[in-house]
A and B are shown apart, each in its own frame.
Chain A
Amino acid sequence: MADTASTALPEETIAKPASSAPLSPLKIGVRRFRRHRMAMFGLVLLILLMLYISFGSFASQGYCTPIKQNLSGEAWANCNDTHLKLKPPSSAHIFGTDVIGRDIFARTIYGGQISLLIGISAALVEVILGALIGSLAAYYGGWVDSALMRFTEAMLNIPSLFLLIIGAHFFSGGLPTFHIFGRELTGSVILIILIIGATSWMYLARIVRANVLSLRERDYVSASRALGASDSRIIFLHLLPNTIAPLIVSATLGVANAILSEAYVSFLGLGVQGATATWGNMLDGAYQYLDSAPWLWFFPGTLILLTVLGINFVGDGLRDALDPYSTKHL
Chain B
Amino acid sequence: MTTYILRRLTQSIPQLFIISVILFTLMQAFGDPIATLGARTPPRPEDKERLRRQLGLDQPAYMQYFTWLIGNDWQKIDMDGDGVPETSGKRKGILRGDWGNSLVTRRPVLEMISQRLPNTLILMVTAELIIIILSLVIGLYSALRPYSLFDNIVTGLSFVGYSMPVFWLALMLMYIFAVNFRKWGLPYLPTVGMFDPAVGKTPGQLIQHMILPVTTLAIISIAGYSRFVRSSVLEVLSQDYVRTARAKGVRTIYVVLRHALPNAALPFITLIGLDIPFLMAGAVVTERIFAWPGMGRLFIDHTARADFPVLMGILMLISIAVVIFQIITDVVYSFVDPRIRLE
Residues of A within 8 A of B (CB): 1-4, 38, 150-151, 153-155, 157-159, 161-163, 165-167, 169-171, 256, 260, 263-264, 267-268, 270, 283, 286-287, 290-291, 294, 297, 301-302, 304-305, 308-309, 311-313, 316
- B residues in contact with A311, CB < 8 Å: 163
Q: How far is the CB of B192 from chain A (nearest CB, A)?
A: 10
Closest residue on chain B to residue A173 by CB atoms: B31
Chain A nearest Cβ from B273, distance in angstroms = 14
Is the Cβ of B179 less than 8 Å from the Cβ of A155?
Answer: no
CB distance from B8 to the nearest CB of A (A): 13
Given contacts A264-B166, A290-B171, contact A161 B281 (CB under 8 A): yes
**In whole Å, how far is A129's beta carbon from the nearest beta carbon of chain B?**
15
Do A159 and B289 touch (CB < 8 A)?
no
What is the distance, in angstroms, from A214's C-beta to the closest C-beta of chain B?
Answer: 22
Nearest B-chain residue to A163, judged by Cβ = B26
Please indicate the chain A residues that have their CB under 8 angstroms from the CB of B323 in the complex: 157
- Assembled-state Cα–Cα distance A162/B283 (Å): 11
Closest B residue by C-beta to A266: B167
B234 contact set on A, CB distance < 8 A:
1-2
Please determine whether A171 and B167 come into contact, CB atoms closer than 8 angstroms.
no
Q: B167, A287: Cβ atoms under 8 Å? A: yes
| Interface class of chain B by DSSP | helix
Whether the pair A312, B14 counts as a contact (CB closer than 8 A) is: no
Is the CB–CB distance between B282 and A308 below 8 Å?
no
What residues on A are CB-neighbors of B299 within 8 Å?
Answer: 162, 165
Contacts A3-B146, A158-B318, A297-B171 supplied; 8 other A-B pairs, CB < 8 Å = A38-B156, A154-B19, A158-B22, A166-B30, A169-B306, A260-B165, A290-B179, A301-B165
Q: Given A1-B235, A291-B179, does the pair A162, B315 have CB atoms closer than 8 Å?
A: yes
Q: Contact between A297 and B168 (Cβ–Cβ < 8 Å)?
A: yes
> Does B175 belong to the interface (CB within 8 Å)?
yes
Q: Is the CB of A158 within 8 A of B18?
A: no
By a CB distance below 8 angstroms, the chain B residues around A301 are 165, 167-168, 171
- Which 3 A-B pairs have CB atoms at the shortest separation, nearest pair first? A159-B281, A301-B168, A309-B163
Count of CB-CB pairs between chains A and B under 8 Å:
131
- CB-based contact B166/A166 at 8 Å: no
Interface CB pairs A-B, < 8 A, 24: A3-B146, A38-B156, A150-B18, A151-B22, A153-B15, A162-B281, A162-B318, A166-B311, A169-B304, A170-B30, A267-B165, A267-B167, A267-B285, A287-B171, A290-B178, A294-B171, A294-B175, A301-B165, A304-B168, A305-B160, A305-B168, A308-B164, A308-B165, A316-B159
Given A267-B167, A287-B171, are A38 and B159 also a contact pair (CB < 8 Å)? Answer: yes
| A268 to B159 CA separation, bound complex (whole angstroms) | 25
Complexed CA–CA distance, A142 and B19 (Å): 21
Which residue on A lies nearest to B280, using beta carbons?
A: A159
Determine the distance from Cα of A264 to Cα of B288 in the docked complex, in whole angstroms: 11
Decide if B284 is an interface residue (CB 8 Å cutoff): yes
B residues 121-172 in Cβ contact with A at 8 Å = 146-147, 155-156, 159-160, 162-168, 171
Closest chain A residue to B291, Cβ basis: A287
* Chain B residues in 8 Å Cβ range of A171: 29
Known contacts A3-B146, A151-B18, A157-B15: A165-B303 contact under CB 8 Å: yes
Residues on the A chain within 8 Å of B156, using CB: 38
| Known contacts A158-B315, A264-B165, A305-B163; is-contact A165 B18 (Cβ 8 Å) | no
Q: Are B167 and A263 in contact (CB under 8 A)?
A: yes
Complex Cα distance, B306 from A154, in Å, reads 23
B327 interface residue (CB < 8 Å to A): no
**B208 within 8 A of partner (CB):** no
Q: Cβ of B15: which chain A residues have Cβ within 8 Å of it?
A: 150, 153-154, 157
